[in-house]
Copies of this chain bind each other. A is one copy, B any other.
Amino acid sequence: MNEVIKKAKQAKKAKAELVYQTTEAKNEALFLIGEALRSKQDYILEENHKDIECGKEKGFSPALLDRLSLNPERLNDIVDALSLLINLNDPVGERLETIHKENGLLIERVRVPLGVVGMIYEARPNVTVDAATLCLKTGNAVILRGSSSAINSNKALVRVIQEALAQSMLPKDAVQLIEDTSKETAKQLFTLNEYLDVLIPRGGKKLIDMVVRESTVPVLETGAGNCHIFIDKSAQSEMAKQVVINAKTQRPSVCNAVESLLIHESWAKHSGRSLLNALQTNGVEIRGDQLICELVPSAVPAEELDWETEFLAPIISVKTVSDIQEAVKHINCYGTRHSEAILTENEENARFFLTSVDAAAVYHNASTRFTDGFEFGYGAEIGISTQKLHARGPMGLEALTSSKYVIKGNGQIRI
């Protein structure tokens, strides 16, 4: 039997057992996994070293090699995150609705695990532990399909996790790793509707787009962020400078960093140059429209592609607009529905922007960098959903659950 089918069958079997595990049993398993990751540190780092060596041979960039690397400190962070996860509320079993019918029927809607979660992801080995433990906490079985560049690390981590599960009340088969990292195994997961309840891609836009396009299994889309800040006519100059510099430069490589700036013409005239110079001082390249290039001659003229690009780098596209309508229209056209902000002292404009912009998170007078499960206080994050069904924005544990109606009677029939 093919590896994917074999492991999918095992995961489906494990799911049937996971569904009636107590919170205590699940937390105990997470604790044992943490202990095992600590005690097997040398083994894990040795295996990770193989991936690094292999990556060097293949000429990976230093940034990629860094993302691939584990060390005692990073392993420690992973185990610390596990302790936090243990302390989070277990959403499974929560009553979401209670309906008492006149005929005596009691209808309750309760949270249940999704079942079997498929996770397709790139590079970083910490995602392996992250995905496995978030799924276990919510009573889900998981099938992991990481990338070939991290295969030795992933195999070691999953082996350690499965050994810990074998010591626990949870089924050892609840966490499965697809070891064949050829394209075919990823594609096989796309149509595994018989075994998979949901598929979560984590990685670059190309990967996510392919999963959305080709998967018949329902997908939880964690998308890219071409985020905008619109500086309205009445925006405070100093606030605008601080917020824009924070949103662009505090961590340019993440999805909630700002990529594009829209500036009201009249604001651009009195405060534009000062803001753009400050960005340049902070090492940011400006790609501007004509007015911007006139204000700051060192700016690069923007091309059409710049309005739709998520740079993930110290580059920003800047456009002037004649009013808020033009700004909203531009954002709804070029944005990726992630995080969008308006800076304004005009309450009516703020309201219009917050209502009209179609995005997971909309901000008034704050940096887009706050769109994050931990910042929102969720204690864990599966990713940031840019789709509209099921979950939108930072996804906590609840995004890994569904619900079910449980109806109790004493012989009621429908009349």
Chain B residues lying within 8 Å of A410, measured Cβ to Cβ, are: 239, 365-366
Q: Enumerate A304-322 residues with CB–CB distance to B below 8 Å.
A: none
A282 CB–B CB distance under 8 Å: no
Chain B proximity mask over A98-116: 1 for CB below 8 Å, otherwise 0 = 0101000101010000110
A19 CB–B CB distance under 8 Å: yes
A154 CB–B CB distance under 8 Å: no
Chain B residues lying within 8 Å of A393, measured Cβ to Cβ, are: 109, 403-405
Q: A355-B20, A366-B408 are in contact. Are A218 and B388 (CB under 8 A)?
A: yes
Please tell me if the beta carbons of B411 and A239 are within 8 angstroms of each other in the complex.
Answer: yes
Q: A105-B370, A404-B362, A405-B371 are in contact. Are A212 and B220 (CB under 8 A)?
A: no
A180 CB–B CB distance under 8 Å: no
Please tell me if the beta carbons of B16 and A356 are within 8 angstroms of each other in the complex.
Answer: yes
Residue in contact with A212 in the complex, picked from B216, B354, B367, CB distance below 8 Å: B216
Please tell me if the beta carbons of A409 and B365 are within 8 angstroms of each other in the complex.
Answer: yes
Q: CA–CA, A15 to B88, complex, Å?
A: 39
Please tell me if the beta carbons of A362 and B218 are within 8 angstroms of each other in the complex.
Answer: no
Question: At the interface with chain B, which of A53-61, A77-85, A130-138, A242-250?
Answer: A242-250
What is the interface residue range for chain A against chain B? 35 or more
Smallest Cβ-Cβ distance to A215: which chain B residue: B216
A285 CB–B CB distance under 8 Å: no
Please tell me if the beta carbons of A243 and B411 are within 8 angstroms of each other in the complex.
Answer: yes
Chain B proximity mask over A335-368: 1 for CB below 8 Å, otherwise 0 = 0000000000000001010111011111111110
Additional 8 contacts, C-beta under 8 A, given A193-B212, A242-B411, A392-B402: A19-B358, A99-B376, A361-B405, A369-B414, A375-B414, A389-B389, A392-B404, A393-B405
Closest 4 CB pairs of A and B: A366-B409, A246-B413, A369-B414, A388-B402
- 21 residue pairs A–B, Cβ–Cβ below 8 Å: A16-B356, A19-B356, A20-B352, A105-B366, A213-B216, A218-B389, A239-B411, A242-B413, A243-B412, A360-B404, A361-B407, A362-B405, A362-B406, A363-B407, A363-B408, A367-B413, A370-B407, A392-B402, A392-B403, A392-B404, A392-B405
